[in-house]
């Protein structure tokens, strides 16, 4: 259903239209494609292949230039070019994929520049993460930064990107969202990448649309607490049956089966996290392999390590394959 958040006296001539996430929302935190020489623009053509593959695997939304997409390692021009390519894909134009654009930079003016560019392209929402070098301290400071950002794109839905393990900013997401919405009614929800599920539930009960960022570990309890869906990393490399199995088993009331699928998805992500290349470097290599040449992704940028050894890639793929088979 579509609901309209009235903007109040300050924005009395404006409204924000936001189509709430449907149950079963599965978001791909997509990798940013780089050429062998490290450039992004020349590699953007592979995004069309990514879009086709993700829809076939059951994804219905993409998160562009997030953590997995190495956002802070890309230039403004590269981030704009990649988003433009995503918006031009057949799958996005046909409404098979919703586009959530992460636009945060360390420099607030650059964040606003990317947000306004995304808004002009017609993305479904922009996502904002607080700066992680000079950091806001306390809920009120975080809420003010979020509201100030949202007011720069007042008719575009804004999702708070809550990822304290990466930003180093601890806060109550519920209190931040409630305070920010009072000043900026286009703050509609969040990507919640944390394990404080009480805070997530409180935010949902306060009327916000919240997706669990760590869906491979916490989708099942998050569904119980009211979220519509979440994100999956292994799902982008052939492991979609585990994450889709959680949704399906939960919907039919089979919590034991849903828990088994959740455990398999957790093991898949753990396999990537434990690898020396990390979940981004190892995951990018496996995702490229899973797409079979349809969407070359290239290596990650330093300081992220690349998984460039062919034998090691095949060993890791075999381990992932065993977990994929377990989920079938």
**Is 60 exceeded by the pLDDT of residue 12?**
no
Label residue 1 by pLDDT band (50, 70, 90). Answer: very low
**Is 60 exceeded by the pLDDT of residue 283?**
yes
Average pLDDT over residues 162-166: 96
Label residue 275 by pLDDT band (50, 70, 90). Answer: very high
% of the chain surpassing 90 pLDDT: 91
| pTM flag (> 0.85) | yes
Name, in order, each residue with C-beta under 8 angstroms of 42's C-beta and a sequence gap of 6 or more: 35
Tell me: the pLDDT tens digits for 288-309? 999 998 899 999 999 999 999 9
Q: For residues 11-50, b (16+ Cβ closer than 10 Å) or e, as one string?
A: beeeebebeebeeebbbbbbbbbbeeeeebbebbebbbbb
Peptide bond into 103 cis (omega under 30): no
Average pLDDT over residues 28-43: 79
**Is 90 exceeded by the pLDDT of residue 117?**
yes
CA 327 to chain centre: 23
* Average of per-residue pLDDT values in the chain: 93
Residues 142 and 176 sit within 8 Å (Cβ to Cβ): yes
Residues 306 and 51 sit within 8 Å (Cβ to Cβ): no
Q: CA-to-CA distance for 95 and 55, rounded, in angstroms?
A: 11
Quote the pLDDT of residue 7: 33
Quote the pLDDT of residue 44: 81
Helices (H), ranges, the chain: 46-56, 76-88, 90-93, 108-121, 139-151, 164-167, 173-183, 197-205, 215-224, 240-251, 255-274, 278-290, 310-326
**Is 50 exceeded by the pLDDT of residue 186?**
yes
Q: CA-to-CA distance for 320 and 275, rounded, in angstroms?
A: 12
Average pLDDT over residues 223-232: 98
Token output for 266: 């957790």
């Amino acid at each position: 259903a579509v609901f309209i958040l009235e903007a109040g006296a300050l924005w009395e001539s404006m409204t924000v239209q936001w189509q709430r996430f449907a149950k079963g929302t599965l978001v791909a935190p997509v990798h940013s494609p780089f050429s062998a020489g490290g450039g992004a623009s020349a590699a953007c053509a592979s995004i069309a292949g990514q879009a086709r593959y993700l829809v076939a695997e059951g994804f219905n939304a993409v998160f562009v230039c997030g953590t997995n997409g190495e956002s802070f390692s890309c230039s403004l021009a590269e981030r704009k070019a990649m988003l433009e390519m995503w918006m031009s894909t057949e799958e996005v134009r046909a409404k098979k994929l919703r586009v959530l654009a992460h636009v945060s930079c360390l420099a607030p003016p650059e964040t606003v520049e990317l947000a306004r560019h995304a808004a002009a392209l017609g993305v479904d929402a922009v996502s904002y993460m607080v700066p992680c070098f000079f950091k806001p301290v306390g809920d009120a400071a975080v809420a003010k930064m979020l509201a100030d950002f949202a007011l720069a794109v007042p008719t575009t839905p804004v999702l708070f990107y809550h990822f304290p393990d990466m930003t180093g900013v601890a806060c109550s997401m519920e209190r931040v969202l409630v305070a920010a919405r009072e000043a900026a009614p286009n703050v509609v929800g969040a990507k919640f990448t944390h394990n404080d599920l009480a805070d997530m539930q409180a935010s949902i009960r306060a009327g916000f649309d919240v997706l669990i960022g760590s869906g491979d570990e916490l989708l099942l309890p998050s569904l119980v607490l009211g979220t519509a869906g979440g994100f999956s990393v292994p799902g982008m490399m052939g492991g979609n049956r585990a994450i889709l199995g959680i949704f399906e088993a939960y919907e039919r009331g089979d919590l034991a089966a849903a828990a088994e699928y959740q455990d398999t998805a957790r093991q898949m992500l753990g396999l990537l996290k434990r690898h020396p290349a990390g979940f981004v470097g190892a995951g990018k290599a496996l995702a490229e392999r899973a797409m079979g040449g349809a969407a070359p992704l290239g290596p990650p940028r330093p300081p992220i390590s690349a998984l460039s050894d062919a034998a090691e890639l095949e060993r890791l793929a075999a381990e992932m394959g065993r977990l994929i088979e377990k989920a079938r």
